[in-house]
Structure 1
Protein backbone atom coordinates (compact mmCIF):
# COMPACT_ATOMS: atom_id res chain seq x y z
CA UNK A 1 0.00 0.00 0.00
CA UNK A 2 1.27 3.46 -0.86
CA UNK A 3 2.18 5.29 2.38
CA UNK A 4 1.20 8.66 0.89
CA UNK A 5 -2.26 9.04 -0.68
CA UNK A 6 -2.92 11.78 -3.24
CA UNK A 7 -6.42 12.97 -4.14
CA UNK A 8 -7.13 15.77 -6.60
CA UNK A 9 -10.44 17.56 -6.13
CA UNK A 10 -10.88 20.21 -8.80
CA UNK A 11 -7.97 22.62 -8.41
CA UNK A 12 -6.99 21.34 -4.95
CA UNK A 13 -4.66 18.45 -4.08
CA UNK A 14 -5.11 16.63 -0.77
CA UNK A 15 -2.10 14.63 0.37
CA UNK A 16 -2.55 12.18 3.24
CA UNK A 17 0.09 10.33 5.23
CA UNK A 18 -1.29 6.79 5.18
CA UNK A 19 0.24 4.54 7.84
CA UNK A 20 -2.65 4.90 10.29
CA UNK A 21 -1.79 1.83 12.35
CA UNK A 22 1.65 3.39 13.06
CA UNK A 23 0.37 6.92 13.72
CA UNK A 24 1.96 7.79 10.36
CA UNK A 25 5.47 7.16 11.59
CA UNK A 26 7.79 8.27 8.79
CA UNK A 27 9.89 5.69 6.95
CA UNK A 28 12.50 6.29 4.27
CA UNK A 29 10.02 5.01 1.69
CA UNK A 30 7.45 7.49 2.96
CA UNK A 31 9.93 10.38 2.80
CA UNK A 32 10.79 9.54 -0.81
CA UNK A 33 7.10 9.35 -1.68
CA UNK A 34 6.43 12.73 -0.09
CA UNK A 35 9.13 14.24 -2.29
CA UNK A 36 7.80 12.48 -5.40
CA UNK A 37 4.23 13.67 -4.78
CA UNK A 38 5.39 17.25 -4.16
CA UNK A 39 7.26 17.29 -7.48
CA UNK A 40 4.24 15.87 -9.27
CA UNK A 41 2.09 18.68 -7.85
CA UNK A 42 4.69 21.29 -8.74
CA UNK A 43 4.37 20.34 -12.41
CA UNK A 44 0.56 20.50 -12.41
CA UNK A 45 -0.52 24.02 -13.39
CA UNK A 46 -4.16 23.11 -12.76
CA UNK A 47 -3.51 22.49 -9.04
CA UNK A 48 -3.90 25.77 -7.19
CA UNK A 49 -3.72 24.72 -3.52
CA UNK A 50 -2.57 21.78 -1.38
CA UNK A 51 -3.75 20.28 1.91
CA UNK A 52 -1.44 18.00 3.93
CA UNK A 53 -3.10 15.71 6.47
CA UNK A 54 -2.74 12.34 8.18
CA UNK A 55 -5.06 9.34 8.05
CA UNK A 56 -5.87 7.53 11.28
CA UNK A 57 -5.47 8.79 14.87
CA UNK A 58 -2.57 11.23 14.26
CA UNK A 59 -1.02 13.58 11.75
CA UNK A 60 2.37 11.96 12.38
CA UNK A 61 4.25 10.62 15.39
CA UNK A 62 7.56 11.45 13.67
CA UNK A 63 10.32 9.34 12.24
CA UNK A 64 9.84 5.59 12.67
CA UNK A 65 13.07 5.24 14.65
CA UNK A 66 12.99 1.45 15.01
CA UNK A 67 12.27 0.84 11.34
CA UNK A 68 14.65 3.49 10.03
CA UNK A 69 17.64 2.88 12.29
CA UNK A 70 17.40 -0.83 11.49
CA UNK A 71 18.72 0.10 8.06
CA UNK A 72 21.92 2.10 8.76
CA UNK A 73 23.13 1.83 5.17
CA UNK A 74 19.85 3.29 3.94
CA UNK A 75 20.10 6.11 6.48
CA UNK A 76 23.67 6.90 5.40
CA UNK A 77 22.74 6.87 1.72
CA UNK A 78 19.78 9.19 2.24
CA UNK A 79 21.72 11.47 4.61
CA UNK A 80 24.02 12.65 1.82
CA UNK A 81 22.80 15.93 0.31
CA UNK A 82 21.97 16.52 -3.31
CA UNK A 83 24.56 19.12 -4.39
CA UNK A 84 22.09 20.98 -6.59
CA UNK A 85 19.21 21.21 -4.10
CA UNK A 86 21.31 21.46 -0.94
CA UNK A 87 19.05 19.01 0.90
CA UNK A 88 19.25 15.31 1.69
CA UNK A 89 16.28 12.93 1.41
CA UNK A 90 15.11 13.62 4.97
CA UNK A 91 15.19 17.38 4.45
CA UNK A 92 13.74 17.35 0.94
CA UNK A 93 10.66 15.42 2.11
CA UNK A 94 9.75 18.56 4.05
CA UNK A 95 11.34 21.36 2.02
CA UNK A 96 9.80 20.12 -1.24
CA UNK A 97 6.48 21.50 0.06
CA UNK A 98 8.13 24.84 0.78
CA UNK A 99 9.41 24.91 -2.80
CA UNK A 100 5.91 24.55 -4.27
CA UNK A 101 4.44 27.67 -5.89
CA UNK A 102 1.05 26.56 -4.57
CA UNK A 103 0.13 27.44 -0.97
CA UNK A 104 0.22 24.41 1.35
CA UNK A 105 -2.07 24.03 4.37
CA UNK A 106 -1.43 21.38 7.03
CA UNK A 107 -4.51 20.00 8.81
CA UNK A 108 -3.27 18.48 12.07
CA UNK A 109 -4.91 16.16 14.58
CA UNK A 110 -3.59 13.80 17.25
CA UNK A 111 0.18 13.65 17.63
CA UNK A 112 2.47 15.89 15.61
CA UNK A 113 5.97 15.01 16.73
CA UNK A 114 9.54 15.19 15.45
CA UNK A 115 9.76 14.77 11.70
CA UNK A 116 5.97 15.01 11.48
CA UNK A 117 6.11 18.44 13.09
CA UNK A 118 8.88 19.51 10.73
CA UNK A 119 6.69 18.44 7.81
CA UNK A 120 3.78 20.49 9.16
CA UNK A 121 6.09 23.47 9.68
CA UNK A 122 7.07 23.34 6.00
CA UNK A 123 3.45 24.15 5.11
CA UNK A 124 2.41 27.79 4.78
CA UNK A 125 -0.47 27.45 7.26
CA UNK A 126 -1.29 24.98 10.05
CA UNK A 127 -4.75 24.32 11.52
CA UNK A 128 -5.00 21.86 14.41
CA UNK A 129 -7.68 20.25 16.54
CA UNK A 130 -7.91 21.39 20.20
CA UNK A 131 -6.76 17.96 21.42
CA UNK A 132 -3.71 17.72 19.15
CA UNK A 133 -0.25 17.95 20.67
CA UNK A 134 3.18 18.87 19.39
CA UNK A 135 6.77 18.07 20.27
CA UNK A 136 10.24 18.66 18.88
CA UNK A 137 10.93 15.08 19.93
CA UNK A 138 14.45 14.45 18.61
CA UNK A 139 16.41 15.23 21.79
CA UNK A 140 14.60 12.36 23.53
CA UNK A 141 16.47 10.09 21.11
CA UNK A 142 19.79 11.90 21.45
CA UNK A 143 19.29 13.72 18.14
CA UNK A 144 18.43 17.21 16.87
CA UNK A 145 15.73 18.30 14.41
CA UNK A 146 17.41 17.84 11.04
CA UNK A 147 14.51 17.75 8.55
CA UNK A 148 14.55 21.56 7.97
CA UNK A 149 13.27 22.30 11.50
CA UNK A 150 16.16 24.65 12.24
CA UNK A 151 15.03 26.92 9.40
CA UNK A 152 11.30 26.82 10.08
CA UNK A 153 11.17 26.78 13.89
CA UNK A 154 13.25 29.90 14.50
CA UNK A 155 11.47 31.74 11.69
CA UNK A 156 8.02 31.02 13.10
CA UNK A 157 8.48 31.28 16.85
CA UNK A 158 11.82 32.98 17.47
CA UNK A 159 15.15 31.60 18.59
CA UNK A 160 14.46 31.35 22.33
CA UNK A 161 11.19 29.44 21.97
CA UNK A 162 12.69 27.21 19.29
CA UNK A 163 15.55 26.31 21.64
CA UNK A 164 13.15 25.78 24.54
CA UNK A 165 11.01 23.30 22.60
CA UNK A 166 14.08 21.57 21.17
CA UNK A 167 16.14 21.26 24.35
CA UNK A 168 13.25 20.08 26.55
CA UNK A 169 11.39 17.97 23.93
CA UNK A 170 8.26 18.94 25.90
CA UNK A 171 4.84 18.14 24.50
CA UNK A 172 2.63 21.23 24.10
CA UNK A 173 -1.08 21.39 23.38
CA UNK A 174 -2.74 23.18 20.48
CA UNK A 175 -3.69 26.24 22.52
CA UNK A 176 -0.07 26.81 23.56
CA UNK A 177 1.15 26.08 20.03
CA UNK A 178 -1.20 28.78 18.70
CA UNK A 179 -0.09 31.29 21.34
CA UNK A 180 3.58 30.99 20.41
CA UNK A 181 2.95 30.90 16.64
CA UNK A 182 3.77 27.24 16.05
CA UNK A 183 0.37 26.80 14.40
CA UNK A 184 -1.85 29.29 12.63
CA UNK A 185 -5.12 28.51 14.39
CA UNK A 186 -6.97 25.95 16.50
CA UNK A 187 -9.99 24.46 14.73
CA UNK A 188 -12.56 21.80 15.63
CA UNK A 189 -12.44 20.76 11.96
CA UNK A 190 -8.98 21.53 10.58
CA UNK A 191 -9.62 19.82 7.24
CA UNK A 192 -12.81 21.83 6.75
CA UNK A 193 -11.03 25.03 7.76
CA UNK A 194 -8.18 24.21 5.37
CA UNK A 195 -10.64 23.56 2.54
CA UNK A 196 -12.39 26.88 3.15
CA UNK A 197 -9.07 28.73 3.11
CA UNK A 198 -7.92 27.01 -0.09
CA UNK A 199 -11.21 27.94 -1.77
CA UNK A 200 -10.66 31.60 -0.87
CA UNK A 201 -7.06 31.56 -2.10
CA UNK A 202 -8.06 29.81 -5.33
CA UNK A 203 -10.20 32.85 -6.19
CA UNK A 204 -7.06 34.99 -6.42
CA UNK A 205 -4.52 35.20 -9.20
CA UNK A 206 -2.33 32.06 -9.06
CA UNK A 207 0.60 34.11 -10.35
CA UNK A 208 0.24 36.68 -7.55
CA UNK A 209 -0.25 33.96 -4.91
CA UNK A 210 2.88 32.11 -6.06
CA UNK A 211 4.83 35.39 -6.20
CA UNK A 212 3.72 36.33 -2.66
CA UNK A 213 4.90 32.97 -1.32
CA UNK A 214 8.22 33.33 -3.12
CA UNK A 215 8.63 36.95 -1.98
CA UNK A 216 8.23 36.28 1.73
CA UNK A 217 10.35 33.13 1.57
CA UNK A 218 13.24 35.04 0.02
CA UNK A 219 13.01 38.19 2.12
CA UNK A 220 12.15 36.98 5.63
CA UNK A 221 15.72 37.14 6.90
CA UNK A 222 17.05 39.52 4.25
CA UNK A 223 18.25 43.05 4.92
CA UNK A 224 15.79 45.82 4.07
CA UNK A 225 17.84 46.87 1.03
CA UNK A 226 17.95 43.32 -0.34
CA UNK A 227 14.25 42.82 0.42
CA UNK A 228 13.36 45.93 -1.57
CA UNK A 229 15.28 44.63 -4.58
CA UNK A 230 13.55 41.25 -4.37
CA UNK A 231 10.18 43.03 -4.09
CA UNK A 232 10.86 44.93 -7.33
CA UNK A 233 12.11 41.84 -9.14
CA UNK A 234 9.06 39.85 -8.05
CA UNK A 235 6.56 42.60 -8.82
CA UNK A 236 7.78 43.54 -12.31
CA UNK A 237 6.58 40.36 -14.10
CA UNK A 238 3.16 40.77 -12.48
CA UNK A 239 2.91 44.39 -13.66
CA UNK A 240 3.92 43.41 -17.18
CA UNK A 241 1.39 40.57 -17.15
CA UNK A 242 -1.41 42.92 -16.10
CA UNK A 243 -0.38 45.42 -18.76
CA UNK A 244 -0.61 42.75 -21.48
CA UNK A 245 -4.09 41.73 -20.36
CA UNK A 246 -5.35 45.32 -20.45
CA UNK A 247 -4.26 46.12 -23.99
Structure 2
Protein backbone atom coordinates (compact mmCIF):
# COMPACT_ATOMS: atom_id res chain seq x y z
CA UNK A 1 0.00 0.00 0.00
CA UNK A 2 1.12 3.59 0.40
CA UNK A 3 1.25 6.47 2.84
CA UNK A 4 1.07 10.22 2.28
CA UNK A 5 2.86 12.72 4.52
CA UNK A 6 3.02 16.50 4.26
CA UNK A 7 6.29 18.35 4.77
CA UNK A 8 5.80 22.07 4.28
CA UNK A 9 4.67 22.55 0.69
CA UNK A 10 5.72 19.05 -0.32
CA UNK A 11 3.77 15.80 -0.10
CA UNK A 12 5.78 12.58 0.24
CA UNK A 13 4.04 9.49 -1.16
CA UNK A 14 5.71 6.31 0.11
CA UNK A 15 5.17 2.78 -1.14
CA UNK A 16 5.27 1.10 2.25
CA UNK A 17 6.23 -2.39 3.43
CA UNK A 18 9.18 -4.65 2.63
CA UNK A 19 7.61 -6.47 -0.31
CA UNK A 20 8.23 -5.62 -3.97
CA UNK A 21 5.29 -3.19 -4.23
CA UNK A 22 3.42 -4.95 -7.02
CA UNK A 23 0.48 -3.17 -8.62
CA UNK A 24 -2.99 -4.65 -8.22
CA UNK A 25 -6.37 -2.89 -7.90
CA UNK A 26 -5.92 -2.29 -4.17
CA UNK A 27 -2.50 -0.66 -4.47
CA UNK A 28 -3.41 1.29 -7.60
CA UNK A 29 -6.58 2.66 -6.01
CA UNK A 30 -4.60 3.71 -2.93
CA UNK A 31 -2.04 5.59 -5.02
CA UNK A 32 -4.74 7.31 -7.06
CA UNK A 33 -6.55 8.32 -3.87
CA UNK A 34 -3.31 9.85 -2.61
CA UNK A 35 -2.92 11.81 -5.84
CA UNK A 36 -6.46 13.14 -5.45
CA UNK A 37 -5.53 14.36 -1.98
CA UNK A 38 -2.52 16.15 -3.45
CA UNK A 39 -4.73 17.81 -6.05
CA UNK A 40 -7.20 18.91 -3.38
CA UNK A 41 -4.52 20.47 -1.16
CA UNK A 42 -4.07 24.09 -2.33
CA UNK A 43 -1.06 24.72 -0.08
CA UNK A 44 0.98 21.82 -1.49
CA UNK A 45 3.16 22.65 -4.49
CA UNK A 46 5.26 19.52 -5.19
CA UNK A 47 5.17 15.74 -4.80
CA UNK A 48 7.89 13.19 -4.02
CA UNK A 49 7.25 9.47 -4.55
CA UNK A 50 9.53 7.00 -2.80
CA UNK A 51 9.60 3.54 -1.27
CA UNK A 52 10.43 1.51 1.80
CA UNK A 53 12.39 -1.72 1.45
CA UNK A 54 14.64 -2.80 -1.41
CA UNK A 55 12.10 -2.32 -4.22
CA UNK A 56 10.70 0.89 -5.64
CA UNK A 57 8.27 -1.38 -7.49
CA UNK A 58 8.49 -4.65 -9.38
CA UNK A 59 5.54 -3.83 -11.62
CA UNK A 60 2.20 -5.54 -12.14
CA UNK A 61 0.96 -8.20 -9.74
CA UNK A 62 1.20 -11.13 -12.15
CA UNK A 63 -0.02 -13.64 -9.58
CA UNK A 64 -3.21 -11.64 -9.08
CA UNK A 65 -3.71 -11.51 -12.86
CA UNK A 66 -3.00 -15.23 -13.28
CA UNK A 67 -5.94 -16.16 -11.05
CA UNK A 68 -8.30 -15.09 -13.86
CA UNK A 69 -6.44 -13.59 -16.83
CA UNK A 70 -9.48 -13.20 -19.07
CA UNK A 71 -11.21 -11.04 -16.46
CA UNK A 72 -8.32 -9.29 -14.79
CA UNK A 73 -6.12 -8.10 -17.66
CA UNK A 74 -8.58 -5.38 -18.64
CA UNK A 75 -9.03 -4.34 -15.00
CA UNK A 76 -5.31 -4.01 -14.39
CA UNK A 77 -4.73 -2.25 -17.71
CA UNK A 78 -7.33 0.41 -17.02
CA UNK A 79 -6.25 1.05 -13.44
CA UNK A 80 -2.52 1.07 -14.17
CA UNK A 81 -2.88 3.38 -17.15
CA UNK A 82 -5.19 5.63 -15.13
CA UNK A 83 -2.54 5.89 -12.42
CA UNK A 84 0.20 6.82 -14.89
CA UNK A 85 -2.09 9.39 -16.51
CA UNK A 86 -2.84 10.87 -13.08
CA UNK A 87 0.87 11.42 -12.45
CA UNK A 88 1.20 13.03 -15.87
CA UNK A 89 -1.74 15.34 -15.12
CA UNK A 90 -1.10 16.31 -11.52
CA UNK A 91 -0.68 20.06 -11.27
CA UNK A 92 2.57 20.11 -9.28
CA UNK A 93 6.17 19.11 -10.04
CA UNK A 94 6.87 15.45 -9.27
CA UNK A 95 10.11 13.84 -8.15
CA UNK A 96 10.72 10.09 -7.89
CA UNK A 97 13.16 9.05 -5.14
CA UNK A 98 13.99 5.53 -6.31
CA UNK A 99 15.42 3.70 -3.30
CA UNK A 100 15.48 0.20 -4.75
CA UNK A 101 14.80 -1.81 -7.89
CA UNK A 102 12.43 -0.21 -10.41
CA UNK A 103 11.34 -2.90 -12.87
CA UNK A 104 8.65 -3.13 -15.55
CA UNK A 105 5.62 -1.14 -14.38
CA UNK A 106 7.66 0.19 -11.46
CA UNK A 107 10.13 1.74 -13.88
CA UNK A 108 7.21 3.18 -15.86
CA UNK A 109 5.90 4.79 -12.67
CA UNK A 110 9.29 6.45 -12.23
CA UNK A 111 9.22 7.60 -15.86
CA UNK A 112 5.85 9.27 -15.27
CA UNK A 113 7.57 11.70 -12.86
CA UNK A 114 9.25 14.93 -13.91
CA UNK A 115 12.53 14.19 -12.10
CA UNK A 116 14.17 10.96 -10.96
CA UNK A 117 16.81 10.45 -8.25
CA UNK A 118 18.17 7.00 -7.32
CA UNK A 119 20.28 5.28 -4.71
CA UNK A 120 23.61 3.73 -5.70
CA UNK A 121 24.25 0.05 -5.12
CA UNK A 122 22.72 -3.12 -6.51
CA UNK A 123 19.34 -1.66 -7.45
CA UNK A 124 18.55 -1.54 -11.16
CA UNK A 125 16.27 0.05 -13.72
CA UNK A 126 14.82 -2.74 -15.82
CA UNK A 127 12.10 -3.26 -18.42
CA UNK A 128 11.55 -6.99 -18.01
CA UNK A 129 8.89 -7.52 -20.67
CA UNK A 130 11.20 -9.08 -23.27
CA UNK A 131 12.57 -11.58 -20.76
CA UNK A 132 9.06 -12.45 -19.55
CA UNK A 133 7.45 -12.84 -22.96
CA UNK A 134 5.24 -9.76 -22.78
CA UNK A 135 4.39 -7.10 -25.35
CA UNK A 136 4.05 -3.43 -24.45
CA UNK A 137 0.68 -1.90 -25.28
CA UNK A 138 0.93 1.27 -27.37
CA UNK A 139 0.00 3.40 -24.34
CA UNK A 140 3.05 2.33 -22.33
CA UNK A 141 5.30 2.54 -25.37
CA UNK A 142 4.15 6.14 -25.80
CA UNK A 143 5.34 6.89 -22.26
CA UNK A 144 8.63 5.10 -22.83
CA UNK A 145 9.27 6.92 -26.12
CA UNK A 146 8.53 10.28 -24.52
CA UNK A 147 10.97 9.85 -21.62
CA UNK A 148 13.88 7.78 -22.97
CA UNK A 149 16.50 8.67 -25.57
CA UNK A 150 16.75 6.24 -28.52
CA UNK A 151 19.89 4.44 -27.32
CA UNK A 152 18.50 3.95 -23.82
CA UNK A 153 15.17 2.84 -25.29
CA UNK A 154 16.94 0.25 -27.44
CA UNK A 155 18.95 -1.12 -24.53
CA UNK A 156 15.97 -1.33 -22.19
CA UNK A 157 13.19 -2.41 -24.56
CA UNK A 158 15.11 -4.52 -27.10
CA UNK A 159 17.95 -5.64 -24.86
CA UNK A 160 16.21 -6.00 -21.49
CA UNK A 161 19.36 -4.52 -19.94
CA UNK A 162 19.47 -3.94 -16.21
CA UNK A 163 20.88 -0.47 -15.67
CA UNK A 164 22.60 0.57 -12.49
CA UNK A 165 21.93 3.99 -11.06
CA UNK A 166 25.15 5.32 -12.55
CA UNK A 167 24.24 3.92 -15.97
CA UNK A 168 20.83 5.53 -15.69
CA UNK A 169 22.46 8.87 -14.88
CA UNK A 170 24.82 8.59 -17.86
CA UNK A 171 21.88 7.86 -20.18
CA UNK A 172 19.89 10.86 -19.00
CA UNK A 173 17.21 8.80 -17.29
CA UNK A 174 18.14 10.01 -13.80
CA UNK A 175 18.80 13.50 -12.52
CA UNK A 176 20.93 12.48 -9.55
CA UNK A 177 22.48 9.46 -7.82
CA UNK A 178 23.15 9.28 -4.08
CA UNK A 179 24.94 7.10 -1.57
CA UNK A 180 21.97 5.66 0.29
CA UNK A 181 18.19 5.83 0.59
CA UNK A 182 18.22 8.59 3.19
CA UNK A 183 20.39 10.83 1.00
CA UNK A 184 18.26 10.06 -2.05
CA UNK A 185 15.03 11.02 -0.32
CA UNK A 186 16.63 14.09 1.25
CA UNK A 187 17.84 15.27 -2.16
CA UNK A 188 14.44 14.61 -3.74
CA UNK A 189 12.63 16.57 -1.03
CA UNK A 190 15.13 19.42 -1.30
CA UNK A 191 14.59 19.57 -5.07
CA UNK A 192 10.81 19.43 -4.58
CA UNK A 193 10.94 22.25 -2.03
CA UNK A 194 12.91 24.40 -4.46
CA UNK A 195 10.37 23.73 -7.21
CA UNK A 196 7.48 24.37 -4.83
CA UNK A 197 8.99 27.72 -3.92
CA UNK A 198 8.48 28.98 -7.46
CA UNK A 199 4.75 29.28 -6.85
CA UNK A 200 3.68 28.14 -10.30
CA UNK A 201 -0.01 27.91 -11.21
CA UNK A 202 -1.13 24.31 -11.27
CA UNK A 203 -3.15 24.42 -14.46
CA UNK A 204 -0.25 26.06 -16.31
CA UNK A 205 2.29 23.51 -15.05
CA UNK A 206 0.05 20.57 -15.91
CA UNK A 207 -0.75 21.98 -19.33
CA UNK A 208 2.90 22.57 -20.16
CA UNK A 209 3.80 19.03 -19.09
CA UNK A 210 1.15 17.59 -21.37
CA UNK A 211 2.47 19.73 -24.21
CA UNK A 212 6.06 18.74 -23.53
CA UNK A 213 5.18 15.04 -23.80
CA UNK A 214 2.38 15.10 -26.40
CA UNK A 215 0.09 12.16 -26.96
CA UNK A 216 1.05 10.19 -23.83
CA UNK A 217 -2.00 10.92 -21.72
CA UNK A 218 -4.27 10.50 -24.73
CA UNK A 219 -2.87 7.01 -25.29
CA UNK A 220 -3.17 6.14 -21.61
CA UNK A 221 -6.77 7.37 -21.51
CA UNK A 222 -7.74 5.43 -24.64
CA UNK A 223 -7.03 1.96 -23.17
CA UNK A 224 -6.91 0.95 -26.81
CA UNK A 225 -4.33 -1.83 -26.86
CA UNK A 226 -4.51 -4.93 -24.65
CA UNK A 227 -1.65 -6.38 -22.65
CA UNK A 228 -0.32 -9.53 -24.29
CA UNK A 229 1.41 -12.13 -22.11
CA UNK A 230 2.95 -14.98 -24.06
CA UNK A 231 4.44 -17.12 -21.32
CA UNK A 232 4.77 -14.89 -18.29
CA UNK A 233 1.59 -16.11 -16.63
CA UNK A 234 2.19 -19.78 -17.43
CA UNK A 235 5.47 -19.63 -15.47
CA UNK A 236 3.73 -18.67 -12.21
TM over 0.5: yes
Is 1:24 the counterpart of 2:14 in the alignment? no
2:116 to 116, 123, 126: 126
Q: CA deviation at 1:160?
A: 4.5
Match of 2:221 in 1: none
Relative to its length, the structure with more helix (as a share) is: 1
Q: CA deviation at 1:73?
A: 5.2
Give the conservation status (yes or no) of the 8 Å contact 2:89–2:210.
no
Q: CA deviation at 1:112?
A: 0.6
C-alpha distance in 1 between matches for 2:166 and 2:209: 26
Query: In the TM superposition, what are the counterparts of 1:92-111 in structure 2 within 5 Å?
Result: 92-111=82-101
Query: In the TM superposition, what are the counterparts of 1:67-216 in structure 2 within 5 Å?
Result: 67-72=64-69, 74-78=71-75, 88-131=78-121, 132-146=123-137, 148-188=139-179, 189-207=183-201, 211-216=204-209
C-alpha distance in 2 between matches for 1:141 and 1:16: 27
Q: TM-score, with normalisation over the residues of structure 2?
A: 0.80
Q: Which runs of 5+ in 2 are unaligned?
A: 216-236
Q: Which has the higher contact order (CA 8 A, sep 6+)?
A: 2
C-alpha distance in 2 between matches for 1:66 and 1:147: 23
Q: Which runs of 5+ in 1 are unaligned?
A: 81-87, 223-247
Give the CA RMSD over aligned residues.
2.2
Q: 1:155-185 CA distances to partner (integer Å, 9 max, x unpaired)?
A: 2223443133112222111111111122222
Q: TM-score, with normalisation over the residues of structure 1?
A: 0.77
Aligned CA distance change for structure 1 residues 127 and 205 (closer, same or farther; 3 Å): same
SS of equivalent to 1:38: helix
Q: CA deviation at 1:68?
A: 2.9
